[in-house]
Structure 1
Amino acid sequence: MLAPHRRARVTRSEAGDSRWEVATRELPAGLRAHVRGLLGYSEASALPRLQRQFPLPQVVVIIEFGPPIRVHDDAGVASTYAGGFVAGLHDRWSDTGHDGSQRGIQLNLTPIGARLLFGVALSELAGRIVHLDDLLPRAHRGLAGRLAGLAEWDDRFDMVESFIAARLAEARVEVNTVAWACRRIEASAGAVDIGRLAGELGYSGKHLIALFRDRVGVPPKLLARLVRFDHLVRRLRSGPPATWAELAAEFGFADQAHLTREIRSFTGVTPTSARPLLGDVLFA
């Protein structure tokens, strides 16, 4: 029997003709090093919806048991991945949409967690969207269908957590060195000197980049930028009010213009336009 603090918390809300349900649950201790978040979602609206997704230092797994979500490329061309998909680390925004309903589970993995879970070099996922079943071993394919057959969020979370735990137990790739470097980057909010980090590990910059491309998918400098942006996003969501100049100083940008360029690069819009987009659930 689940402990009370481990039972799913379900939040429902409505706005106009739209209804949302979001389910979350505390992760078991053994998964927290590799899983940033796990949530169930259901949305129904009278009109189609398009959302802008920001790049963050995580690999996103969408397990769909509703109509497939459309993922738009830079040219606006949409693709769908019935049953779900995996989005590797990238440095560009993306737009996703649906025709009035979506339902499924979103799993946010650390890059190291994704490397262990899927057993492929993350350079193969960087900047790409891949069908979920293409990355799963035969025994785990059809996961979306099995989850759809369950009535309760707790039962679905149990199945996903068991799947993650099984894959982590089967993993054989060595990740400790890069995991340590990732923790250093995260602890510094992306402000760590990458050259010094390589020196502390006794590696050349070239060798460290090669390790990161395999275990993380992107070079350490890009990961550091994504981590800094992630900290900025979380600060904007829940921190006290601050000017853009104050935020630039707080997060180590050269100046406000540097912060503006970084936000435009990652979101495609100005900082002011980006603010109201930060509350979207999917990919967050």
Structure 2
Amino acid sequence: MGDLGRGVLYPREQGAVANVERRTPGEALAPFVESYWHVQWRTEEPFETKVLSHPNVHLVFEEPVPLVYGVDRRLFVRRLEGRGQVLGVKFRPGGFRSFAPGPVIELADRRIPAADLFGPEVDDVNRAVLRRSDTDAMVGPAEEFLLRHLPDPDPVAGEVAAMVDAITTDPALFRVGQAAEALHVSVRTLQRLFAEYVGASPKWVLRRARLHEAAARADQGVPVDWANLADDLGYSDQSHLIRDFTATVGVSPAKYARA
């Protein structure tokens, strides 16, 4: 089993049915693409995979047609049955803007046939990718396809990616106003850039990073001091953390940790 990655809920259960491998893009695509991910699964009984999504757009080669997944601001759930595989292209935050016809926020919470954005050629690439089962062999035609559609680099996209990285890795940033001040932009500018390039608001990105950390702590298999964790994550109190976690994941953090 490969590392399922931060944000994947119930990783032990999911790791029993799914294997994940990742690859880095070539130099030309690196400004746009964060990674490729290949998931293969085999399960006797239907299994629902659940993920606290990140602020990334994905192009996924899958049956019956490839799809573009906007940032899923809710809980991402996918039902796995029998045997199967998909290959995903995880774009950097802001990296999909040059491929999109409009602001990336228009893709939020949506799954769109890739042909609507890339043209019918992508369906042929989908078949070529899924005929293979080796990760590197699958990445080959996907990367060749993206290189044929490579837009000019957008320097603002790179700046926005750096902004996302800064506010999701700085444990001292809890509020949009704090983030804007740290990034030397106005709150309104930050909100506008995130709608145009990321596909989610700065408030959502900050909140989701806190939920990722809460789930990661719960997955460690050791008792968690939820009051201290709430304080560490900038919640007003333990009850605030519990409400936020439960509203998104569907169960309280304590119940999730016991699962």
Does TM, normalized by the shorter one, top 0.5? Answer: yes
Shift of 1:118: 3.9
- Select which of 107, 123, 126 maps to 2:89: 107
One-letter code aligned to 1:41: V
Q: Mean Cα displacement is larger for which, 21-30 or 204-213?
A: 21-30
1:53 corresponding residue in structure 2:
51
Looking at structure 1, the residues matched to 240 and 29 of structure 2 have their Cα atoms a distance apart, in angstroms, of: 36
Aligned to 1:79: none
Q: Is the partner of 1:130 in helix, strand or coil?
A: strand
- Percent identity reads 23
TM-score by length of 1: 0.70
Structure 1's unaligned 5+ residue stretches are 1-8, 66-81, 278-284
- Structure 2 counterpart of 1:92: 74
Matches within 5 A, 1:168-179: 168-172=150-154, 174-179=156-161
Deviates more, 1:200-209 or 1:140-149: 200-209
| Whole-Å separation in 2 of the counterparts to 1:24 and 1:201 | 31
Mapped contact 1:133–1:141 kept (Cα < 8 A): yes
Q: Calculate the TM-score normalised by the size of structure 2.
A: 0.76
Counterpart AA for 2:169:
A
The corresponding residue for 1:3 is none
1:64-213 aligned within 5 A:
64-65=62-63, 82-118=64-100, 120-150=102-132, 152-172=134-154, 174-189=156-171, 191=173, 193-199=175-181, 203-213=185-195
Range with bigger deviation, 133-142 or 123-132:
133-142
Report the AA paired with residue 22 of structure 2: T
Change in CA separation of 1:143 and 1:168 when aligned onto 2, cut-off 3 Å: same
Instruction: Give distance in 2, aligned partners of 1:24 and 1:177.
Output: 25
Answer whether contact 2:53 2:71 (CA < 8 A) is retained.
yes
Aligned length: 248
Gap change, CA 1:45 and 1:192, over 3 Å in 2: closer
What residue identity is the alignment partner of 2:105? S
Equivalent AA in structure 2 for residue 113 of structure 1: G
- Is this contact kept in 1: 2:42–2:83, CA < 8 A? yes
Q: Structure 1's 22 and 215: CA in aligned 2 closer, same or farther, altered over 3 A?
A: closer
Does 2:40 correspond to 1:42? yes
RMSD value over aligned CA atoms?
3.4
Q: Secondary structure at the match of 1:113?
A: coil
2:242 aligned to which of 256, 260, 274: 260
Q: For the Cα contact (< 8 Å) 1:55–1:266, is it kept in 2? A: no
Instruction: Report the counterpart of residue 197 of structure 2 in structure 1.
Output: 215
SS, match of residue 58 in structure 1: coil
Query: Separation in 2 of the partners of 1:100 and 1:56?
Result: 27
Report the secondary structure of 1:158's partner residue: helix
The answer for unaligned runs of 5 or more in structure 2 is 4-12
Distance 1:55 1:220 in 2: 15
Instruction: Tell which deviates more after alignment, 237-246 or 144-153.
Output: 237-246
Given the superposition, is the C-alpha separation of residues 269 and 140 from structure 1 closer, same or farther in structure 2, using an over 3 Å criterion?
same
8 Å Cα contact 2:41-2:84 kept in structure 1: yes
Given the superposition, is the C-alpha separation of residues 276 and 45 from structure 1 closer, same or farther in structure 2, using an over 3 Å criterion?
A: farther
Amino acid at match of 1:50: E
Residue 125 of structure 1 and its aligned partner are, at CA, apart by: 0.8
Once residues 147 and 219 of structure 2 are traced to their aligned partners in structure 1, the CA distance between those partners, rounded to angstroms, is 31
Q: CA deviation at 1:256?
A: 1.5
Instruction: Check whether the contact 1:88–1:127 (CA below 8 A) recurs between aligned residues.
Output: yes
Give 2:213's aligned residue.
Answer: 231
Change (3 A) 1:19 1:59: same
